[in-house]
Amino acid sequence: MKFSICFEAQMVDTSPESEQRTFYEAVEQTEYAEKMGFDAVWAVEHHALTQYSHMSSPETFLAFVAARTERMRIGHGVICLPPAMNHPVKVAERVATLDILSRGRVNFGIGKGGTQQEAGTFGYDLNELQPMIDESMYLIPKIMVEEEIEHNGKYIQIPRRPIHPKPYQKPHPPMFMACTREESLRNAGSRGLGGMVLGFSTPEDTAKLNAIYREAFAARDPAKQVGYFPNEYLAVGCPTIISDDREKALRIGLRGQRFFAQAIHYWYGGGPKPDVADASSEEHVKAVKKAEELTVAYLHEAKIPVTAAATDMYNVDHAYGTPQDAIRYLERLEAAGADEALMLMQMGTVPHDAIMETLKHMGETVIPYFREKEKRAKVA
């Protein structure tokens, strides 16, 4: 299994000084993660979601960390594809340029963005975006490969033009799709894309999602392939805080998750602004469960089905604890079918030193355990 660090640029204090510090710390964390043996760094894309995510220009952040690293994969997780957000020509140009400058380290994830707040910022109705996303995702790989492109689609029109540059990886970087529901995993698998399960799923839920994805991938129609080659790969969200002091790790991790869940509920479900109060791990669990109850009540009132995807952010079974606790959790995630653990540490209230401590434990204990395990499996 591979290990990566994922950034939302989430923060409690939204002052310019705090924003700047969050990005500077993310760069430092990425550099240290590479030294500790991490395989990749990913950055999301969100717009107009105060506190929840200030990562509105992931291409800039990723270009900067690509220059500060040598080995890690550089992951867009994901680029939002509505044309007014990111026109397919610009996406192809930016991804190819980043791939060249990083000497072939780019992972190219695609999605649509999750809220009407974001869609409306660019003049869209969230419920009408999927056909635009579909048109764009099939078009972008062609732009990266073909010498000239001409396209006359329903949502995108491009006169015949040569588009430059072409990516370092041939024919183009591996492609992934953001997945939060069973339907989106089937969609990713049936189109030959890697899946990125972004969220707080349990290993047991991951096993079910993995089965759905692998079945769809195996049964895919080659004519529906997005891009020029299939990419069977499942990367799964894994909230992680590690310390020699289990209670400390639980308290920090659960407080961060509480902030994350409340921030989502604020923008997705009209809930109150996040509560940043510190408390014991037990009190944080109660607060998270209370937030889950409010979300379920909102979904019932709005006559929206209550699914695992809608409530997984309130699951508190994660890699919070000692290095051995993290190993046990990650073994469950690996057994569930995850090819990569997308490790979410930068959750609103989590301090920089706690993330650096987590990275240290990952590099000194957790990752070496799994690397040794892989060596033994190869010998056997």
Q: pLDDT per residue over 66-89, tens digit each?
A: 999 999 999 999 999 999 999 999
Secondary structure of residue 110 in the 3-state scheme: strand
Give the per-residue pLDDT at 284: 66
Mean pLDDT of 51-76: 98
| Residue 244, H or E segment | none
% of the chain beyond a pLDDT of 70: 92
Give ∠ CA 367-23-109 in degrees, rounded to 5.
65
Of 280 and 134, the structure prediction assigns the larger pLDDT to 134
Lowest pLDDT segment from 29-33, 164-168, 285-289: 285-289
Average pLDDT over all residues of the chain: 92
Model confidence pLDDT, tens digit, residues 292-342: 666 655 554 544 554 555 666 677 889 999 999 999 999 999 999 999 999
Q: Which domains does the chain have, with CATH numbers?
A: 2-242+319-379 (3.20.20.30)
Mean pLDDT of 270-288: 73
d(CA 257, CA 137): 32
Give the per-residue pLDDT at 275: 74
Of 188 and 273, the structure prediction assigns the larger pLDDT to 188
Give the per-residue pLDDT at 312: 64
Model confidence pLDDT, tens digit, residues 165-213: 999 999 999 999 999 889 999 999 999 999 999 888 899 999 999 999 9
Give the per-residue pLDDT at 306: 47
| Residue 124, H or E segment | none
Mean pLDDT of 366-374: 97
Of 65 and 267, the structure prediction assigns the larger pLDDT to 65
Handedness of CA 159, 163, 169, 174 (dihedral sign): negative
| Cα dihedral: 217, 195, 88, 157 (round 10) | 40
Q: Which residue has the tokens 């080995």?
A: 71
Mean pLDDT of 218-247: 97
% of the chain beyond a pLDDT of 90: 81
Give the per-residue pLDDT at 310: 60
pTM of the model: 0.93
Handedness of CA 7, 8, 9, 13 (dihedral sign): negative
pLDDT over 90 (residue 164)? yes
d(CA 143, CA 10): 33
Q: Which residue(s) pair with 75 in the sheet?
A: 42, 107
The model's confidence at residue 360, banded by pLDDT at 50, 70 and 90, is very high
Mean pLDDT of 147-154: 98
Give the per-residue pLDDT at 233: 98
Give the per-residue pLDDT at 114: 82
Give the per-residue pLDDT at 150: 98
Mean pLDDT of 339-362: 97
Of 298 and 21, the structure prediction assigns the larger pLDDT to 21
